Structure 1
């Protein structure tokens, strides 16, 4: 059965799990035109909090990546934005690079995009756009919520948080389950607890 209910995922590109959720949706939805991804910012979500150094470094990357994708979003269509997100995620989350202009420029070249976008990493003028996009994500969540957020129709969820992209049968079952939850107004949350948590 083909579903055309709009789905939106808000994510921070540096979140170590959100890109798996984005890849799962991209591979699983029946109608790619019904799926959009939008920017949110863990740096803004954690603004003013006292964080350990490792987390502060990730938040600095969050700020830079937010600027980059805000800049890319001004000119790229949805398909190109998805390609940029997939390439950035594979590079950032697998290669653990320094998020600065030179390697990002190389990544942009590989994508056939102008290297001038790499300048956005350090350009604070993009922060206004990032804040606006982040504010829309929090409005959709109805409060403060992290990455990823998935909206199906009028229902917005924090998650699902995925450690890997499920195999096709499991991926389809997960999406069907999420659609079912979205149809129940009384449902608010569920969390799977693991023995090592």
Structure 2
């Protein structure tokens, strides 16, 4: 049996779009980290927003889900601010710190939890201040639009 060995160290980029509150994105992201360990893949993290995605149909959603969506703004604002101020390379570790708290530990999506995650990710806790403001909403929308546009381009039938 013969095997072909890669002769270069090039890694295939895998763009991963996430909203920190989405449990399905969380599960898939952990799988992608495992893939990255055994395949020549480099995960590049990007923010999308369930709040932006669901804006046009908020009136159609159950009340419980609308409340969750309202709480979704804070974590995505913090992620976008972190990337804007410290570079996109911080997103992987910030997402891991937030996701572990939200999805594994069941911690609330509140400022104290976000501050803990920022500290773990080596980022200033002052970034948590943007969670309750609209200061980065244009950037959140732009990042989400890039996810939507990219998805439409890559999933269209060929």
- Using CA pairs under 8 Å that are at least 6 residues apart, name the structure with larger relative contact order, 1 or 2: 1
Aligned to 1:195: none
Coordinate RMSD, CA, aligned = 2.3
Q: Structure 2 residue aligned with 1:38, among 46, 49, 52?
A: 46
Mark the runs of 5 or more structure 2 residues left unpaired by the alignment: none
Aligned to 2:16: 9
The 8 Å contact of residues 46 and 91 in structure 2, kept in 1 or not, is answered as no
Question: In structure 1, what is the Cα distance between the partners aligned to 2:116 and 2:136?
Answer: 21
CA deviation after TM superposition for structure 1 residue 8, in Å: 0.7
Question: In structure 2, what is the Cα distance between the partners aligned to 1:107 and 1:25?
Answer: 21
Aligned to 1:98: 108
Stretches (4+) displaced over 4 A: none
Return 70-79 or 113-122, whichever deviates more.
70-79
Q: How many equivalent residue pairs?
A: 147
TM-score by length of 2: 0.80
TM-score by length of 1: 0.66
CA deviation after TM superposition for structure 1 residue 77, in Å: 4.4
